[in-house]
Amino acid sequence: MPVKVGGSYVSEAAYSFAKARATDKKEDSDVMKSLAEKFPNLKFSVGTAPFAGTGTNNVSISSKILKQIEQDPEKRMEYEALIYDIAHTDVTGGNMSGRKVKSHGFIIEDDGGLRSWGISEYDDGNRRQQSHLKRSDKKNWWQDMLGKPREKKKKFANTNELTKYLQENFSMVKAGMAKISGKYLQKCLTDEESRLKLFDNLRVAEDVYNNRKDEVGFQGMQVTIDEDGEMSMTSSKTTVSLNENKRRRQIAAAATQGDMQSVVALLEQDLQQLEDGLRLNQCDAAEVEKAKKLLEQAKERMGRLPDRAATPAEQNAMTVNMLI
C-alpha cells in the first residue's frame, strides 16, 4: 500500500529502498552522479523540457529540485523513493494493438510535480502525449497512468514450496543472506497482500545489495523479515590501508642500511596485507600500488645508505618515527 514520504505517496518498496540508502553511507555531493549510481538503468538530465531523449528510461529533474536534494536529506529520500518507483514502472507494458512506444520520459518539475511524456508510433503515424501525475494522492500515480504492475497471482501449497520459489527468484534468499520469519511465510500462503509485500521487500534488498556490492570494503549484507513483514538490513564493511605518511617519515629518518632494512620489512608486511585485502575487496588496486612504490623507494635508498651502526641521535630519531 502507498506510503507518504514528504509530499508524495510512493510504494512501500520505494520507501524501503530510499530509507536504506539514506543511512548506509555518506552521500555524494554530486547529486546527478549519485542518482546515476543508484539507478543505472535510467538516463538523467537537468531541465523540465518534454520530449528530450530517446528510449523509454529518461528522467529530467528541475535544477531547483536537484538543489533541494543536495541540501535536504528528507527531500533526498522523498525524491529517491519517487525515482525508485519510476525505475520500476513498465511504460511499455500497456502497449495497445496498433501502438508502439518509441520514447518516453518523466519530468520532476520546479514545484516537485511529476509529468510524463511519450512519443508513440501508431498505424497512422507518430503522436506526442503528455500527462501530469498526482503524486500527492494516496492512489498510486502509476495506477492512473499504466495500471499498477504486479506479480501474477501465485499460489503455494506450503511454506516449502514458497521458499523454493523465493530461492529460484531472489539471489539473496538462495545465497542465505535473507532470514524470513516462518510465521510470516505461513501468512503469505493465504494473504496475497503480505505475499506481494514480501516480494517487494526482497526486490528492494537486492537493489540495495547490487548498488553496494562493488564498494571497496563491502563484505556482505544480511536481511531479516520479521513476523509482521517488516524488513531490516545490516551490512558489514572492512577496509585496510597503507599509513603512507608514517612510512615516508620512517624512510626519511633511516640513516643506515640497518634502519632502512627495518622499514623495508614493514613495507613488505604492508604489501602482503594489502594484496590479501585486494582479494577480499578490502582495498583497491591503487592502495596496493602505493605500497609497491614506497617499497621500491626504500630499497633504492637503502643501497645508498652507509653500512654502519647508527649514532645515538640517529637511533633516537628512528625510534621516535617508528612509534608515532
Q: How many CB atoms lie within 10 A of CB 47?
A: 11
Residues 91-118 have pLDDT tens digits of 665 554 556 778 888 999 888 888 888 8
pLDDT beneath 50, residues of the chain: 25-26, 28, 96, 138-139, 146-151
Euclidean distance between CA atoms 255 and 213, whole angstroms: 45
Euclidean distance between CA atoms 115 and 106, whole angstroms: 6
Task: Report pLDDT for 150.
Answer: 46
Nearest to 198 by CA among 189, 210, 207: 189
Q: Are 236 and 219 in contact (CB under 8 A)?
A: yes
Task: Report pLDDT for 156.
Answer: 93
Q: Are 136 and 112 in contact (CB under 8 A)?
A: no
Nearest to 322 by CA among 258, 254, 227: 254
The domain spans of the chain are 1-149, 161-237, 244-323
Look at the block and give the residue holding cell 577496509.
239
| β-strand partners of 101 | 120
Residues 144-178 have pLDDT tens digits of 554 444 445 578 999 999 999 999 999 999 999 99
Euclidean distance between CA atoms 135 and 111, whole angstroms: 12
Euclidean distance between CA atoms 59 and 48, whole angstroms: 10
| β-strand partners of 236 | 220
Whole-structure pTM value? 0.56
Euclidean distance between CA atoms 81 and 12, whole angstroms: 9
CA-CA-CA-CA dihedral for 178, 183, 185, 186, to nearest 10? 160
Sign of CA dihedral 137, 139, 144, 150: positive
Task: Report pLDDT for 88.
Answer: 81
3-state secondary structure of 298: helix
End-to-end, the C-alpha distance of the chain in Å comes to: 57
